[in-house]
Structure 1
Amino acid sequence: MPNIEFRLNKLVGKRRINFHVIFSNEVDVYDIEREFLESIKFVYEAEPQAGDEKRSLTKENLERLGRKLKKEHKNFKNEPDIVIGLKNAVVDDEDIMQILSNKKSIFKGKYLIFVPADEDLSKISWNGQDHQTRKLLIQKCDGLIASNQNTIEWALGYKHPGKTRKEKIRNFKKEFKSLKPCIFGSDAHSLEKLFEPDNKKYTWIKADPTFEGLKQVIYEPEERVKIQEKNPQEFYHKPFFSSITIKESEIFEEGSVKFLDTSIKLNPNLVAIIGGRGTGKSLLLDAVAKTFEKEPKNERAQSISIRNDDFVVSYEKTDGTKIEYKIQEQNVLDYLHVYQGKVKDIVDPKLPEHLDSEIKGLLNFSDVPQRPFSEEEINRLINEIFEIKGFLEKKDSNGNLINSLSFIEQEIGKKKKLINNITTKENTELIEKYSANLKLIDKVEKMKENLELLSKELVSFQEEKNKIIEELNKELSSDNKLPLLDFKFYIEKILSINNNNNEYLEEIRNENKNIKDEFRKKGIIGDISTLLEQVKKYQEEIIDLENRKDEVIKKEKDLMQKFSIISNFVEKLVESYNDYVINVERSWNYLKKGKEDWTEEQKTLVEKLLSDIKVKPRISFDNKIFYEKLKKCLNLRMFQSTKEQNQEDRIKEVFNIHSEEDFINLLKNKKMININSEKFSLSEILDKNLFVKDGTKDFLKLLLIETSSYWNVISEVYYKSKSLSQLSVGMKGTMYICLKLATDPFIKPFIFDQPEDDLDNDFIMNNLVPIFRKIKKYRQVIIVTHNANLVVNADAEQIIVAENNNECISYKAGSLENPDIRNEICKILEGGEYAFKQRERKYSFPIQKEEVD
């Protein structure tokens, strides 16, 4: 591109100012020479009391000036005429600007003015007499030629007076009319110096290598140009989708629509996909989603049936390696995909659990707090409870609860009466002794059995383990050999105890034999053997009953222990819920502070995203859901409606659960249930006639397993101090996207299909556009949109235009500065031309305050 450097007739300090005019390569050289240069006048000669003689800025006139000066000043004689003329001719910047602005048909929009700044403009004194000269030159230029970092920041308004960055920029533009991008070159005066600036201060411009590309630095003076040694693209290595390759193929099974051959290299920053209705702009992202099994819930996306090799997505990792993913394979890739309509689905007021679940997921929390026992453990506990209850509630053919303590005591009493009925005063003492001996015999026999069983188990254990020890000893050194097990002492001791038991049994049996003899000596008439056999039979039955009584007592104690476990379960669950609330709050606060390895810009970005959002976790008990589920367990005939109460109210009156506290007390086995004005605990009502068949078990499962459906920690979200119920759908969507980006802000690509469908327009322009401008440094952003502001003012690095010709879909890509792409934006996107004008005025002096804000 032609760059003409003019020496102006102005001095700033002791330095003469140069004026650079960079022309578009589209301007004809003839027009530059004839319509521009030859129209500029320079002072050739002056006379007293006469006007200056001016001549056109042509090569011939410059040579004439050189020859004239060489005659008048001998020190010039050794240099060519043209060099002396060029060194000494000066022009007026006003002439330059007037010529360019007057010949709009030739030059409008096809030139840029840059002025060198050889000093640190942030530190120079503006108090001298050249204040206005310097200011006017900077006001009329498009940018500066400078590499000093302080000057670069000064030209972007950062060092200007003001409390905030926005105010500093506003004040700078008010004084200097626009922000000034800085570029720098080699200023080569020899071939060796060409393309090698001092200190390797290369100028990197993010744009097409055209004049329109260079022009972008005027509209994006901070983001589009950097002066440094290394490529700014290497500043932050991020993974990104690097290309999409499509072979001509039918998209759906019915074959009415197809993709044409397309290969798109994707920019790693902000990519905007645009197109008219039905052109396939969202379809492209649907196919990407299907490639990674992130299919949207719309019918179109789910019906995509492209063959495996006909749609390939390439992904470049941070180390530069690339991976190809084919659409029909089972691919796994961690990236953020917000499909069309997903935001509205998440923030649907009818399904608040969606947003709650999403928030917990964003903060890396499960939907429900961790339970102290697994579902398997709870099911086992419930089964054990009902196994015990089955034992305690067992009935005989007459409907007697044969394992109730009252029934057993009654039966023991009956057996004792039968013994009393067959005895007299004379033989009562002998009978009682005989019965006591029978009890002892039973007790000792059981002891013998247990000791013999223990002895056998010891022998078996000894043999088994000694074989293992012998094998190990083969590998061990003599110093480390293990001694063999020897339970001889225990076995012999058991044998000795059982010998004593045998002797004791012999004594007791002899004593009972003597009792029989005693009966005969007393002359008792009757069948003594039958009498004693009857006594023995009743006594054995009494022993059995007493053993069963012990078992019942143990079972009842065990049952209460099970309910103690339930009480312990709920205490631990409450503790888990409270810990969950604390951890969510802690994670939220941690998120707002940012991570240690984030830059200040990253932390500021996340802080801004979350500035209007508050997340307050709280424990919630939903009575409505609890009673809806409870009704399924109940025998509803027991809760018939009356004139005074409907069925639901009667159920609530009986179960008396109105809050989280009531629920906890029920599980702690406190008397909560009202039946006929009497209160019962959880353990007491399970055998009441309140439930359908198997309803009691379902009731316990409801209390212990299904708790999360009605008792949970929910995340209450406030946006701009308003609760969700007070927000519009657009504000909810805005809040959700801020959360989504803040909790997962960097590295992973972010795909967003038509954000304007879900978000407030005010948020898009004032918040989402600045957010996209920042996060694209740290992650690839791909959007489908029909909002020109998201494309133009967010300065999308790449535009992909979707086209549909007779159901044949294709895509073409280019930059904002590409004239064809710009035309497509203005044609397709509503307000496209206005968005460009807005952007082009953004860094100029604002006509209205709102344009800056």
Structure 2
Amino acid sequence: PNDINERMYIKYIEIKEAKYAGRRKPLRIEFSPWMTSIIGGRGTGKSSIIQFLRVVLKKHNDLPDELKKEFEEFVAVPKTRNDLGMFRDETIIDICIVKEGMEYFLRWYNGKIYEKFSGTEEEAIDVEKRFPVRIFNQKQLFEMTKNANLLLQYVDSQWKSYEWKKVVDSKKVEYKECMILYRKICERKKEQNSIMVSLREIESKIKAFETETTKKILEEQKNILIEEQQIKDLYMMYASLISKYIEVQQSIDDISSKSIVLDKIDDKSAEVINKWQNALKDLNGNVKSLLSQYKDSLITYEELFDKLECAKLKLQNKTAMENVIEELKEHGIEGIDLYPILLQNRDKLVEQLKEYKDVDKALIENRNRQSDILLEYSDLMKKRISERKRVIDIWNCNSGLRVSLITFGNLEDNEKAFRNMIMKTGSTFSNDILKMDGDDVYCGGIIYDIANPKDNNKIVDELRNKFDKIVNVDSSIMGKSIEKHLKSIFENKPEICDEIMTWIPDDKVVLELKMSNNRYVKIDAGSAGQRTSAILALLLQISDTPLIIDQPEDDLDTKNISEFVVKGINNKKRNQQIIVVTHNPNIVVNTNSEQIIHMEYGGGEINASHSGALQELEIRDAICDVMEGGREALDARYYRISKALLK
């Protein structure tokens, strides 16, 4: 079909100022929206075009380690003529991508990718997401047969996994924030409990004061103190006068004991003085007699109080109070004067408790929110399981390769992730985490149990239950050593519990080959050609995004090329763009490539000497000249067409 407005495809790539490309003039390669074959002899730069595409489309992160090294060598800027590297400081790579009928222009320069808009440039955003392109070479294809989990990214490209991941991430953040708040509320709850304990203790002590007997004695003491104070106040009204009376009496006694002989004065003066002195003596005698008469009133306060009934009551109350104090000591109360302090402290604690009146409500609401988030999280896990299985079921309907998904079954990676979370790498706690039997077969442990539930239909529910037991350090699922370790780290770093509760273990993909007798065997049992052709056939059908393959024919025999590669390309190029670098003429001819690019190396640079379809003579000559068996492939195709026309 010629309507290509609904598909995405790469229109062209243009390379400038690379070490071996675009020096004299830009190297521009134009691609067909359907099938493009890049051909040429060895060392003509065919695979370099694919690497340049990787750079701009950011498709190097999913390369196996050995291929990452090759890629890093390719993108290096050589310091000397003999150093590896295809790039220079001035290198520019431009790509035009057509998506939904609109052209988008991306430029790579100096390590960054820019997008051009009406003459202006801005740094490109979400290149991988907005322009999904799949790029493989033979080594990658074979690596997938050894590590089938590499297929998961392509499984997830067939459903809205990107939106799913965003929701998962937001729920994880929401749960962690909820747990941070929960721990703060728990701290306030502890404070509330501490206040309530203190209040209960004070209430208990106050009750000890407020027994009938104690209350009576305290009331008596209170009344006695009031009465005593009143008496004392009255006495103090006379205290200074009494003191003066006593002082006067003492003065009279002192004067009475003294005498002075007046023998040097005249008789008249002596008569006046004697009269005055006798009068004073009479006064002193009368005063002394009067003071003697009231001597029982000229006493100290203590002497007065001891004569009163109140003094007896006070003494009795003191004895009773001493008995009360002994009883209070048995309740941990020191001192009878503590009672008013206790009352004051009780009032303070009651007031403080008002600040915590909403703690229980907040705690219940937070726990409910935790449960809601974890339920939503469980639903998200179930969604990933169902979506991945749905995609795989579709693949299995149209493939000679059977793909199986073991939910949470990537034991090695899951063990590593779990150990990182609990900060215990190595082989410690192996029996608790992932146990092996004598034949080095996994047979138990937390990670094993997660992937081998009692009921496959309840695998997520069992996972949640397992996580609950882990964070609560349930001894029923673990030994004492790991129990002690988990208690320690959870106490010091409670956020680890949040990591565990929001962890989604990795799935495992298992591949099986369909043999000629329609039996399935593990992919390891197949030849390199069988394995590569099967995975390639699968990749051809799993997505409508542009597919770029570098030399897929390596390890494949002619039958596999015809049955899997050619047939698959002819079926898929109707709906998606396919670009293939190849040495095999059958791929070029029998897929009826709409665009064939002949690469050559000359003058120190790689060049696209010719481009076009099979209808052009120069292209057919190039196929015959540079591809072994090219003429036979063209003759065979011509024969098939001629034969069809003669019918």
Return the TM-score normalized by structure 2. 0.57
Deviations along 1:6-46, one digit per CA (max 9) or x if unpaired, are xxxxxxxxxxxxxxxxxxxxxxxxxxxxxxxxxxxxxxxxx
Q: Indicate the residue corresponding to 1:403 in structure 2.
A: 194
Is 1:330 the counterpart of 2:128? The answer is no
**Residue 299 of structure 1 aligns to which amino acid in structure 2?**
E
Superposed displacement of residue 256, structure 1: 9.8
The 3 A distance-change label for structure 1 pair 739 and 695 is: farther
Instruction: Tell me what 2:540 maps to.
Output: 741
Relative to 1, partners in 2 of residues 1:695 and 1:631: Cα closer, same or farther, differing over 3 Å? farther
Partner of 1:191: none
User: Residues 210-248 of structure 1: CA distance to partner in whole angstroms, max 9, x if unpaired?
Assistant: xxxxxxxxxxxxxxxxxxxxxx8569886655555566x
Of residues 692, 698, 706 in structure 1, which corresponds to 2:489?
692
The 2-side partners of 1:579 and 1:776 are apart by 31
Deviations 1:408-427 (A, max 9, x none): 58844763476369972624
Counterparts of 1:738 and 1:840, CA distance in 2: 26
Counterpart check, 1:575 vs 2:399 = no
8 Å Cα contact 2:598-2:608 kept in structure 1? yes
Please name the residue that 1:809 is paired with: 606
Tell me which of 154, 161, 164 is aligned to 1:365: 161
Aligned to 2:288: none
The 3 A distance-change label for structure 1 pair 623 and 282 is closer
> How many Å apart are 1:785 and its aligned residue?
0.8
Change beyond 3 A, Cα 1:672–1:269: closer
Work out whether 1:424 is the aligned partner of 2:220: no
Are residues 571 and 546 of structure 1, via their aligned partners in 2, closer, same or farther at CA, if it must alter by over 3 Å?
Answer: same
Counterpart AA for 2:633: A
Matches of 1:822 and 1:316, distance apart in 2: 29
- Alpha-carbon deviation of 1:822? 3.5
Q: What is the match of residue 35 of structure 2?
A: 270
Matched position secondary structure for 2:47:
helix
**1:805 deviation in Å?**
2.6
1:557: how far off? 8.5
RMSD: 5.5
| 2:402–2:511 Cα contact (<8 Å) kept | yes
Provide the rounded CA distance (Å) in 2 between the counterparts of 1:629 and 1:409: 47
Q: CA deviation at 1:280?
A: 0.7
Q: 1:327 to 1:566 in 2, by over 3 A?
A: closer
What secondary structure, in the 3-state scheme, does the structure 1 residue paired with 2:161 have? coil
Cα distance between partner residues in 2 of 1:315 and 1:671: 50
Change (3 A) 1:548 1:735: farther
Closer, same or farther in 2 for the Cα pair 1:290/1:629, shift >3 Å?
Answer: closer
Note the 1:505-584 alignment, pairs <5 A: 534-542=338-346, 565-584=369-388
Distance 1:715 1:548, change over 3 A: farther
The equivalent of 1:612 in structure 2 is 400
Q: Which residue of 2 aligns with 1:831?
A: 629
Letter in 2 for 1:275: G
Partner Cα separation in structure 2 for residue 840 and residue 825 of structure 1: 14
Q: In 2, distance between residues paired with 1:673 and 1:555?
A: 26
Q: Percent identity?
A: 19
Deviation string, structure 1 residues 59-78 (Cα, Å, up to 9, x no partner): xxxxxxxxxxxxxxxxxxxx
Higher fraction of helix: 2
Partner of 2:123: none
- The CA deviation string for residues 750-791 of structure 1, in whole angstroms up to 9 with x for no partner, is 432222248676432212212323433444432211122111
Are 1:273 and 1:785, in contact at CA under 8 Å, matched by a contact in 2?
Answer: yes
Compared CA separation, residues 567 and 237, structure 1 to 2 (3 A): closer
What SS does structure 2 have at the residue aligned with 1:765?
A: helix
Distance 1:770 1:655, change over 3 A: closer
Shift of 1:330: 1.6
Q: Secondary structure at the match of 1:792?
A: helix
Correspondence 1:789 to 2:580: no
Contact 1:614-1:717 at 8 Å conserved across structures: yes
Quick check: 1:801–1:824 contact (8 Å CA) kept in 2? yes
In 2, the alpha carbon distance for the partners of 1:845 and 1:323 equals: 44
C-alpha distance in 2 between matches for 1:279 and 1:735: 29
Structure 1 residue 624 displacement after superposition? 5.6
Contact 2:408 2:507 in 1 (8 A): yes
Q: Which amino acid aligns with 2:153?
A: S
Q: Report SS of the residue matched to 1:620.
A: coil
Instruction: Pick the structure with greater CA Rg.
Output: 2
Matched, 1:354 2:142: no
Contact 1:621 1:659 in 2 (8 A): no
Q: Distance in 2 between matches of 1:687 and 1:423?
A: 54
Note if contact 2:432-2:478 (Cα within 8 Å) is conserved in structure 1: no
The separation in 2 between residues aligned to 1:416 and 1:719, in whole angstroms, is 84
After superposition, residues 712-731 of structure 1 pair within 5 angstroms as 712=506, 720=514, 721-722=520-521, 731=530
Q: CA deviation at 1:802?
A: 1.3
Report if the CA contact (8 A) 1:290-1:301 is conserved.
no
d(CA) in 1 for partners of 2:467, 2:186? 18
Distance 1:789 1:555, change over 3 A: same
Structure 1 pair 688–236 and aligned structure 2 pair: CA distance change class (3 A): closer
Q: Select the structure with the greater relative contact order (CA < 8 A; seq sep ≥ 6).
A: 2
- Corresponding residue number in structure 2 for 1:299: 72
Instruction: Tell me which of 431, 438, 460 is aligned to 1:649.
Output: 431
> How far is 1:539 from its partner?
3.1
In the alignment, residue 355 of structure 1 is paired with which amino acid?
L
Q: Distance in 2 between matches of 1:565 and 1:749?
A: 44
Provide the C-alpha distance between the structure 1 equivalents of 2:350 and 2:526, rounded to a whole number of angstroms.
71
Aligned to 1:285: 50
Structure 2 vs 1, CA of residues 386 and 338 (structure 1 numbering), >3 Å: closer, same or farther? same
Corresponding residue for 1:482?
none
User: 8 Å contact 1:306–1:327 — kept in the other structure?
Assistant: no
Q: CA 1:560–1:757 in structure 2 vs 1: closer, same or farther (change >3 Å)? A: farther
Q: Which residue of structure 1 lines up, in the alignment, with residue 252 of structure 2?
A: none
Change (3 A) 1:375 1:837: same
Paired AA for residue 36 in structure 2: V
Q: What SS is found at the alignment partner of 2:160?
A: coil
CA distance in 2, matches of 1:540, 1:669: 46
* Residue aligning to 2:465: 665
Q: Give the letter aligned to residue 634 of structure 2.
A: F
Contact 1:751/1:783 (<8 A) preserved: yes
What's the CA shift string for 1:139-176, capped at 9, x where partnerless? xxxxxxxxxxxxxxxxxxxxxxxxxxxxxxxxxxxxxx
Partner-residue secondary structure (3-state), 2:614: coil
Q: CA offsets per residue over residues 637-683 of structure 1, 9 Å max, x none?
A: xx9x9xxxx743367899977634654225556997455x8999xxx
Q: How does 1:250-265 map to 2 (within 5 A)?
A: 251-252=18-19, 258=23, 262=27
> What SS class does the counterpart of residue 403 from structure 1 fall into?
helix
- Does the 8 Å contact 1:292/1:330 carry over to 2? no
Contact 1:368 1:713 (C-alpha < 8 Å) held by counterparts = no
**Post-superposition shift, 1:700?**
0.7
Per the TM alignment, residue 743 of structure 1 is displaced from its structure 2 partner at its CA by 3.8
Q: Do 1:259 and 1:810's aligned partners in 2 also have CA atoms closer than 8 Å?
A: no
Cα drift, residue 799 of structure 1? 2.5
Q: How does 1:17-166 map to 2 (within 5 A)?
A: none
CA distance in 1 between counterparts of 2:7 and 2:32 reads 12
